[in-house]
Structure 1
């Protein structure tokens, strides 16, 4: 879909996605360092994305766009699973005792910044959505 957009539209769409992902990470209680690692962006880019008027256009590579997409889709899955804001935003900070997490929270796992950790967390969160249908 992005490939059909002109360069300025891609940069604008990427900025909007990044701003939304940063807002979600903030609501999940991610530290700045965790958010930067999860999205694989610099401290200055993350700080600009947190400001309402700080990021109107940005170049993100395929890996960064994929990470933004994972955060957005995890949030969408959690919105299907949970009705109340405490669980919707708190789930990612809660210790999880399933085999992949071994007592760590999803944010702790993804906070390493490792792509596989982010992907596998996304996969498991997205699977929660399936069980609701």
Structure 2
């Protein structure tokens, strides 16, 4: 294995469930529909439904792509919390139409809900630059 190879971390089923629930909670506060949340995280509707229930013993196996998507949602949320003091902005930003070049009048959630990793990552990258006022 080379030094540039991506290292895949194994996550326990309970870690996967905790991460998924955290990401779904954020997506819910961003007012994502269940369909949008499923596309952003690349999960099935049944997994969404089970994760949304209050069963503390529920666990799930997720692949590395799904865990990377969860990580990006959590990191977008963290960046928004640094940029904005007002919870209305932290949670409302995802629905605000954005006229910067990448978004072209679309809301960040609309872009993320396209479902491809590039759209999710590029949304994160552009929001992350707000922390340094580079936008």
The answer, yes or no, to whether TM exceeds 0.5 is yes
| Aligned: 1:113 with 2:115 | yes
Q: CA deviation at 1:130?
A: 2.7
Task: Tell me the residue number matched to 2:73.
Answer: 71
Runs of at least 5 residues in structure 1 that lack an aligned partner in the other structure: none
Instruction: Report the Cα distance in structure 1 between the residues aligned to 2:40 and 2:8, rounded to whole angstroms.
Output: 21
Instruction: Report the Cα distance in structure 1 between the residues aligned to 2:36 and 2:71, rounded to whole angstroms.
Output: 16
Task: Tell me the residue number matched to 1:97.
Answer: 99
Cα pair 1:37 1:111 within 8 Å, conserved: yes
Higher helix share: 1
Task: Tell me the residue number matched to 2:31.
Answer: 29
Aligned residues: 128
Q: After the TM superposition, which segments of 4 or more aligned residues of structure 1 sit over 4 Å from their partners?
A: none
Task: Tell me the residue number matched to 1:19.
Answer: 21
Q: CA deviation at 1:56?
A: 2.7
Runs of at least 5 residues in structure 2 that lack an aligned partner in the other structure: 1-6
CA pair 50-26 structure 1, distance change in 2 beyond 3 A = same
RMSD of aligned Cα (Å): 1.9
- TM-score, normalising length: structure 2: 0.88
CA pair 55-119 structure 1, distance change in 2 beyond 3 A = farther
Instruction: Report the Cα distance in structure 2 between the residues aligned to 1:39 and 1:91, rounded to whole angstroms.
Output: 19
1:38-66 per-position Cα deviation (integer Å, ceiling 9, x unaligned): 00000010111112226631111010000
Q: CA deviation at 1:131?
A: 2.9
